[in-house]
Chains A and B, each alone.
Chain A
Amino acid sequence: MNIAVLLKQTFDTEAKIEIAGGAINKKGVGLIVNPYDEYAVEEALKLKEKNGGEVTIISVGADTPDAMRQALAMGADKAISVEDPALEGGDEYTTAVVLAKAVSTIPYDLILAGWREGSAQVAVRVAEELGLPHINVVTKLDVDGGKATATRDIEGGNEIVEVPVPAVITAQKGLNEPRYPSMKGIMQAKKKPIQKLSLGDLGLSADQVAAKVKVQSYFLPSAKAAGKMIAGEAPQAAAELARLLREEANAI
């Protein structure tokens, strides 16, 4: 079973965000693999261990080699990175069209991604672009006999959905426990191929992938005024809090 995993690198959660010249200042910001994508990589590796085949990591944008090396160190076989100056300023539409083309360059039976990747849009858009069904927000997956059966989160519970493969599956927390790369895996990853493709290599023009969304400005949320600390023993403090919530905050 050949599996493509869509991977994105994102800002370290702890990163301090600064805005310079109307854009987010990316200098010096630590990058991590999008947390949901790790579940996708892990699931791909488990399916490969069971069924054989290859796991290919696919990503868009020039900031991804570290994330790819991590996935390769976990056990993925190879990686494709699409890098092109024309992708600067792209949106989820851009990314999806490019990823779909890149996935089409390899044989695949299944596509996995993190569900929140690209504002929870990209993987679903890739499915549509490739004419494939998808199952979104998955916490359990079985692939057998030309079908993927998955348990997915819905509001207030779960749902079991079946689709024919190839299909796109997006991973939710709970699907598995991502493994840590072993020292051996890290050494092996250095020798694994990362194929770099440009838009031209994929037969795409900049016009075909132009962003639909135009960002006007970035700004920081206004600083919050200091809150009120309520002193006193529990009974007095609780009574005072109830009064403030009613009379001052109009919250109850």
Chain B
Amino acid sequence: MAKGILVFAEVKDGKVKNVAFEMLSAGRKIAGQTGDELAAVLIGKGVAGLAGSLAEYGADKIYVAEDDKLAQYTTDAYSKVLADLIKETDPATVLFGCTVLGRDLAAKTAQKVKAGLLSDCIAMEIEGGNLVFTRPVYSGKALLKAGIPESSPAMATIRPNVLTAEPGAGKGEVVNYAVKLDAGDLRQVIKDVILQISSRPELTEANVIVSGGRGMKGPEGFKVLEDLADVLGGAVGASRAAVDAGWIGQNLQVGQTGKVVSPTLYFACGISGAIQHMAGMSSSKCIVAINKDEEAAIFRVADYGIVGDLFEVVPILTEEIKKVVGK
């Protein structure tokens, strides 16, 4: 019978993504209750050295699948390796971070092993002996709890930043996993990769996000938000209005047709609070709204609100925060 939890550890820029540590820490607690094994899998080329960090977050066993054909992510190659591993080791649960890569890989792997997959989960817990996942539906206006029957592995993608990564002393066993890839398995050819160099964290993983909307008035307006973001080591985001106006790139859009984020602290500056935007940021732990219009809907979800001109308030706030955090 299927047993244990397998966590896919996504590697980016030579490091394991934090969401993998978050899933392992949560998985450790569940494995503690059920007595099952907690395993992680690293896929790529030159990734074996990362196994220690996975052990530190509680993995009992770390499968390392290395191959030249895995140097770059392709769904074809990664899903084949992962599906083979799942068939051989028969885990009851397989977890992925809900990232662009994680979503792509999870869907493909799930269909390969005929498994159910719950997307964008914000909680997982044991209820009545079964693992139950919670996920938002209808743009976060409702939630659902669901489980996956034992007949198939339960697969889920977990939203970054909703679980807490807790390092501990771990001694994971490293298992080299023999990769079986035929040329026919690989149909996706990566012709080019174009990365935008940014010193700021990825939106979906940032602890602090400073977002601007229509109230930014133009592309140059975002400078004040960048200054605040940089003081806090945060990311800059935007509402659809600012993106559609061409003031900022679409990859920084937060909302229903953009990214869903769960930072510790979210600043909404000059953002009115359309439902589409709130769908992307309402699970932020602390929300600050700064807007001239005291009737703006954003104030209804904000923990702290200031009615005022963001171009006046934000620069002063940046200086005040510098004092408070001692920078």
Do A and B pair up? The answer is yes
Q: Check B191–A149 contact: CB distance below 8 A.
A: yes
Give 1 or 0 for each of B201-236: 1 = CB within 8 Å of chain A CB: 010000010000000000000000000000010000
Contact residues in A for B208 (Cβ distance below 8 Å): 252
How many residues on chain B are close to A (CB under 8 Å)? 90
Which residues of chain A from 83 to 99 have any CB-CB distance to chain B below 8 Å in the complex?
A: 91-93, 96
Of A19, A213, A241, A243, which is within 8 A of B306 by CB? A241
Q: Check B303–A92 contact: CB distance below 8 A.
A: no
Q: Check A136–B288 contact: CB distance below 8 A.
A: no
Q: Check A238–B75 contact: CB distance below 8 A.
A: no
A183 contacts the other chain (CB 8 A): no
Q: Check B257–A219 contact: CB distance below 8 A.
A: no
B281 contacts the other chain (CB 8 A): no
B149 contacts the other chain (CB 8 A): yes
**A125–B115 CA distance with the chains assembled, in angstroms:** 11
Q: Check B306–A17 contact: CB distance below 8 A.
A: no
Residue in chain B with minimal CB distance to A249: B286
Interface of A (DSSP majority class): mixed
Given A17-B142, A212-B115, A241-B317 contact (CB < 8 Å): yes
Q: Check A234–B149 contact: CB distance below 8 A.
A: no
A82 contacts the other chain (CB 8 A): no
A11 contacts the other chain (CB 8 A): yes
Residue in chain A with minimal CB distance to B265: A251
Q: Check B288–A245 contact: CB distance below 8 A.
A: yes
**A149–B143 CA distance with the chains assembled, in angstroms:** 38
Q: Check B189–A161 contact: CB distance below 8 A.
A: yes
Contact residues in A for B79 (Cβ distance below 8 Å): 128
Q: Check B316–A227 contact: CB distance below 8 A.
A: no
Q: Check A162–B191 contact: CB distance below 8 A.
A: yes
**A133–B76 CA distance with the chains assembled, in angstroms:** 7
Give 1 or 0 for each of B293-327: 1 = CB within 8 Å of chain A CB: 00000011111111111001100110111011100
Q: Check B232–A252 contact: CB distance below 8 A.
A: yes
Q: Check A136–B104 contact: CB distance below 8 A.
A: yes
Given A212-B149, A215-B145, A162-B189 contact (CB < 8 Å): yes
Given A124-B75, A245-B321, A156-B115 contact (CB < 8 Å): no
A221 contacts the other chain (CB 8 A): yes
Contact residues in B for A214 (Cβ distance below 8 Å): 146-149
**A163–B75 CA distance with the chains assembled, in angstroms:** 12
Give 1 or 0 for each of A15-34: 1 = CB within 8 Å of chain B CB: 11101000010000000000
Give 1 or 0 for each of B174-218: 1 = CB within 8 Å of chain A CB: 000000000000011111111110100010000010000000000
Q: Check B143–A218 contact: CB distance below 8 A.
A: yes
Closest approach, in angstroms, between the C-beta of B290 and any C-beta of chain A?
Answer: 9
**A235–B316 CA distance with the chains assembled, in angstroms:** 6
B18 contacts the other chain (CB 8 A): no
**A159–B108 CA distance with the chains assembled, in angstroms:** 19
Q: Check A228–B304 contact: CB distance below 8 A.
A: yes
Q: Check A217–B152 contact: CB distance below 8 A.
A: no
Given A217-B145, A219-B142, A135-B265 contact (CB < 8 Å): no
Contact residues in A for B148 (Cβ distance below 8 Å): 212-214
B20-28, B46-54, B58-66, B117-125 - the one binding chain A: B117-125
A127 contacts the other chain (CB 8 A): yes
A53 contacts the other chain (CB 8 A): no
Residue in chain B with minimal CB distance to A167: B187
Which residues of chain B from 243 to 293 have any CB-CB distance to chain A below 8 Å in the complex?
A: 250-251, 256-258, 264-265, 275-276, 279, 285-289
3 closest residue pairs by CB, A with B? A212-B116, A119-B119, A124-B107
Interchain Cβ contacts under 8 Å between A and B, 5 examples: A159-B190, A160-B194, A219-B143, A219-B145, A224-B300
